[in-house]
């Protein structure tokens, strides 16, 4: 999967979680985005829901 595809999928997940009220504030959104980017940069895949639960 290309890097562009991974980023598109990540953004889709974040949008879905925002629309379903799993992410309710801009702070949660930014934290989730940073966590996703950090995990993607290190080669890990982790859902934002699991990241928010930490």
Q: Return the number of other C-beta atoms located less than 10 Å from residue 19's C-beta.
A: 9
Rg of the chain, C-alpha, whole Å: 11
Q: Is the pTM of this model over 0.75?
A: no
Which tokens is 10 given?
């990540």
Q: Which of 54, 29, 35 is nearest to 45 (CA)?
A: 35
pLDDT for 1-53, tens place per residue? 788 999 999 999 999 999 999 999 999 999 999 998 998 776 654 454 444 44
Torsion of CA 3, 51, 13, 42, to 10 degrees: 0
- One-character DSSP codes across 28-40: HHHHHHHHHHHHH
């Amino acid at each position: 999967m290309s890097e562009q595809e991974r980023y598109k999928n990540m953004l889709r997940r974040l949008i879905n979680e925002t629309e379903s009220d799993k992410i309710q504030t801009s702070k949660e959104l930014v934290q989730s985005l940073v966590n996703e980017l950090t995990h993607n940069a290190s080669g890990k895949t982790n859902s934002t829901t699991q990241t928010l639960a930490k």
